Each structure stands twice: as structure tokens, then as C-alpha cells.
Chains A and B, each alone.
Chain A
Amino acid sequence: MDMHSLLVISVGAIFISNFVLHRFLGLCPYIGVSKQLDSAVGMGMAVIFVMTMASVATWLIYHYFLSPSPLNILFRLLMRGQGEPPDLTYLRTIAFILVIATLVQFVEMVIQKLSPGLYRSLGIYLPLITTNCAVLGVSLLNINEQYSFIESVVNGFTSGLGFTLALVLMAGLREKLELAQVPRSMHGAPIAFIIAGCMSLAFLGFSGLKF
């Protein structure tokens, strides 16, 4: 395995094209769940977990069911490997979103059974994640960038890590902000966006990093 390309993907996903600050994915939880540090950490962990799982699941679905390759399981079972493999890639949006929704539900049930402690800390965030565009976003990016399986998993995990980094930094700032005097019209979301802008500005400094 090429460690160098994995390192490039990781640094890219965490710093250079950070999911929140550069790609603008997952803004709803970023603004919504960043008021307290504890809940930000919880949400971050849940997102890392789901994004990694979703990368695994959607990569397998795409390459073994949808893409027109000889590996396609439907092609091998139904057509016995004869003729041209079917191109079902147009079903990818609908397939991915259903897989992600099912996956989140499944993960929730498993965690609830196996580890009530973990469930108490992650559980409430899991249902929120289905409509988090970061999860579908990372699945689609993995396909668009033509990542291999390992690269997809690494990209999923590190993108989640980048999301968590931005979220936790934001929560830390907003906890301090409680004590600051903010103009009345800036209360709540507006000041959060301005801070996000400043953070995004700082993260721009990472662009051009090279290995």
C-alpha cells in the first residue's frame, strides 16, 4: 500500500480541504451543536464513526452493484458474466442515501445493545447524522476521486476527523464568547458565521502544503 498517497489524502481531508471550512459540508450540525464543548466532542465522534462506516458501505455498493465492471455481482449472478455489465451508476444517489439511513439506524441499535454507556453519549446525535450532507458528501467524493477501498476508508475517517477538529475548535470559541460582549444583532448564528469565516481564513494558510 502506498503510504504516501494515504498521507496526502489525510492531510488534505483534515487541513487543506477541511469538510466544513473549505467544502461547506455539514454546516447544520456545525452551527447547531457547537454551543458546548461536550456535545461537540460527542457529535464529532459520532460523525467520524458514521463517515468511516458509510465510506466502507457505499464503496462496496458502488463497485459491486452499480458500476459497470466485470466484478458487478448482479452481472455475475443474473447474466452469468455474459455480455456487457450493466451501468447502474445513475442509481447511486438513491442507493447511497438509503444505505446511509439504514446504516445509521443499524449502528444506533447495535450501540444501544452492546454499550449503553457509549449510547448515552453518542445516541442522541446519531439520528441527526442521516441528513448531514457530510456523510453523503464523503461517499460521493470517494467515487468521484476514484479512490481505492483503503483510500476511501482513510478519506472517510480523516474527513470526519477534520469535521471534528473544526467543530471542537468552534465550540471552544463559542464557550468563551458567552462571556464576551457581542452586538445584539450579532447574537447566535451571525457571530458563529463570522467566527467560522475567520477560521476558514486561517485554514486557507494550509493550502499549498506539499509532500
Chain B
Amino acid sequence: MSPGKELIKGFYTENPVFRLMLGLCPVLATSTSVNNGIGMGAATLFVLVCSNVVISLIRKAIPAKIRIPIFIMIIATFVTIVDLVMAGFFPELHESLGIFISLIVVNCIILGRAEAYASKNNVFYAFIDGLGMGLGFTLSMILISSIREILGNGTWLGLEVFGSGYNPVLLMILSPGAFFTIGLLMSFLSWFEGRRSSCVTNF
């Protein structure tokens, strides 16, 4: 187990969104603009790293039978911290993400990593795992929100991409656009993987 490998596995091979299909609700709901996407990604990253570290620290003291409620309490604490800090320092982001900040607590990635990784590994690896998975999630958020914002609004992070003559595909910003984007991206990924594996078997 090398730290480097553990860090980058979340980017592609075990990408939480496209591969493990975890935490899709916030991905679809808050990817309407790159700004929101980055905000949501960063919030999830913070909660993931913190809860992984704390759970790994106290993993030997938690009885197996009551581990889930304890994990949930720890995760909910960090989510509330993010919520309060965001309300105090980034009010506009807090307004546009709405209840999805509180809903990080039921994001399956976080409980999933706590259960599958942090409760079995030491603090250093738990930290690396949280960081890698969180970054993988954030990158997926940025990818999806970029596609939706560029096509649906003609802008990227608020900067005009196509010039004023572009007539935006409003559908991409509305809810169907989210489903189409993720469906097509997943299908592209599966096509790409299919090609890669058939190349490997040919050789």
C-alpha cells in the first residue's frame, strides 16, 4: 500500500461518482454552476478528511455493535461546522447550496469510507484516503458543473466562453440536463473502458 496510490485511486479507478456511484444527489443537484460545484466539492472534502481522521483515531475504542451511530454523530458534527462557517463567511454560497449542505451527512461516500477504510486503517492512510476521495469527488463535480454551465449558460465560473452571440441550451441548467450529463458521461466512461480492456485482451 503506497500513499501515492491511495491518494490517486479516488481520481479514476475508484472515483466515487462515476465508479462507485455514491453521493449522486448532491452531484446532480448542485452542479448548476462551477461555483456551486467547487463549493459543494470543498465542503464534502473537508467533512470527508475530518471524519476519516477522527474515526481512525478512535477506531479501537468504538465497539463494533454501535459503530454506525457513532460514525453518524461524528460526521454530523463536521457537517454542522461546515454549515455554520459557510453561513458566516460565504453567505451567497450558503444560500445557493441550501439544504444540500446539511444533506452531506447522508452522502454515502462519507459513511462508506468511514466503514470501509477509516475504521480499519491508521490515521495517516485514513487522511490520505479522505483527501483522495474528496478530491476525486470535487473533480467530478467540477467536470459535470463545467459541462452544464458552459452549455447551459455560455459561461465558465462566470466568464463568457462563446461570446454574446451564443444562445444557451437552457435545458442543461434545468434538472433534465443533470440526468443527461451524468448518463452520457457514464456511458462514455464505460465505452472507453470497454475499448481499453478489449485492447488488452488482443495483445
Contact = CB atoms under 8 A, between A and B. Distances in A.
Task: Verify whether A and B have any Cβ pair under 8 Å.
Answer: yes
Interface of A: 21-28, 31, 90-94, 97-98, 101, 131-133, 136-137, 140-141, 144, 183-187, 189-194, 196-198, 200-201, 204
B176 A197 contact: yes
A26 B29 CA distance: 11
A140 B76 CA distance: 14
B21 A93 contact: no
B190 A136 contact: no
Contact of A186 (B28, B69, B187): B187
B86 interface: no
Nearest to B180: A197
B29 A24 contact: yes
A101 B183 contact: no
A31 B24 contact: yes
B106 A131 contact: yes
A76 to B, nearest CB: 25
Contacts of A131: 106, 108, 111
Interface stretch (B77-85, B134-142, B150-158): B77-85
Contacts of A133: 25, 103, 106-107
Contacts of A137: 99, 103
Interface string B1-41: 00000000000000000000110111011000000000000
B103 A193 contact: no
Contact of B190 (A140, A187, A196): A187
A24 B28 contact: yes
Interface of B: 21-22, 24-26, 28-29, 68-69, 72-73, 76-77, 79-80, 83-84, 98-99, 102-103, 105-108, 111, 171, 174-180, 182-184, 186-188, 190-191, 194
Contact of A194 (B25, B102, B184, B194): B184
Contacts of B190: 184-187, 190
B69 A101 contact: yes
Given A24-B178, A136-B105, A197-B180, A93 B79 contact: yes
